[in-house]
Structure 1
Amino acid sequence: MNDNLKLQNQLCHRFYTVSNAFSRAYRPLLSQLGITYPQYVVMMALWEQDGIAINELLKRTHIDGGAMSLILKKLQAKGLISVIEGKKDKRSRYVYLSEAGAEAREQAADIPQQMRCQFEKLNSEEIKQLYTLIDKLSDNLQEILCARQSPSGS
């Protein structure tokens, strides 16, 4: 068998496995808020900047547009946000935290530290290295995707 096709030699499978493990690790921490991890990502972006345009929210979170629509509908149904059309441009829509959404920030304040405590085998320097390497990999993949999507001859 070609070694290139062995599962143990696939970087992408490691990310898939880690992504699933993160989702499972976050689940009990987010259950107190009644939200999923993708919803948490959107809420974190809104806790950083409330009243953000959806297109900016897409850029910040790197969440697919279709998935974002579903996430926003669910967060609205839970009473955590409201989505309002722009005053100047009716095609633009902005997302605002509700009072409950703003209060959820306090409930979520210790979640990052609780997650950090689960990384017993990684020290702070290793975590910083992971940030750097993962960001580098992500940037590289984004460049490849953008190159594929750009029209020929550009």
Structure 2
Amino acid sequence: MIDREDAARGSNVTISDMLCFALYSASRAAMDVYRPLLDELGLTYPQYLVMMVLWEHETCSVKEIGQILHLDSGTLSPLLKRLEGIGFISRQRRASDERVVDIGLTESGRALQTQASKVPEQISCQYGIEFDEYRELLSRLKKLTNHLSTNS
């Protein structure tokens, strides 16, 4: 743990003491584990996340997907265009409000869910932690994310 006085002075703090670096490193390591599995599905990790949202909700507006995934429209729009281009999603303006674009699954997108359903189990085997540790870590990360999101 970093001593508050050391942190305030900037002394004795190394990169290995930084929580943000540990989170960054863990994120990169997790993406490396996902990559070969998602390559088989023809998806990048961000595309996989969009598909996960749609498999859970069937149809969402672009804004709703962005809120769930914490992505801005500048990042999300190209992802959606690529997913539409490969035939996994469709985009349609909402009849009641043409400013809203709804994203839905195509038959190919629904079919991909069967293949993708194996990914979470394959990944969880690689974490190297027990289920109770997994649940605790997930809970703490959600709490941290929520705290940082509400205070920024």
Q: TM-score, normalised by structure 2?
A: 0.90
SS of corresponding position for 2:38:
helix
**Whole-Å separation in 1 of the counterparts to 2:72 and 2:20:** 19
1:3 maps to 12
Structure 2 unaligned runs (5+)?
1-9
1:110 maps to 118
Of the three residues 18, 27, 33, the one matched with 1:25 is 33
Map 1:1-154 onto structure 2 (within 5 A).
2-4=11-13, 6-120=14-128, 122-145=129-152
What is the aligned-residue identity percentage? 35
Provide Cα deviations, 1:77-105, integer angstroms capped at 9, x if missing partner.
11110111010111000001111000000
Shift in Å, 1:43: 0.1
1:150 maps to none
Instruction: Tell me, yes or no, if the aligned pair for 1:3 and 1:9 is still in contact at 8 Å.
Output: no
Shift in Å, 1:28: 0.5
Instruction: Tell me, yes or no, if the aligned pair for 1:46 and 1:96 is still in contact at 8 Å.
Output: yes
Structure 1 unaligned runs (5+)?
146-154
1:151 maps to none
Q: TM-score, normalised by structure 1?
A: 0.89
Of Structure 1 and Structure 2, the greater strand share is in 2
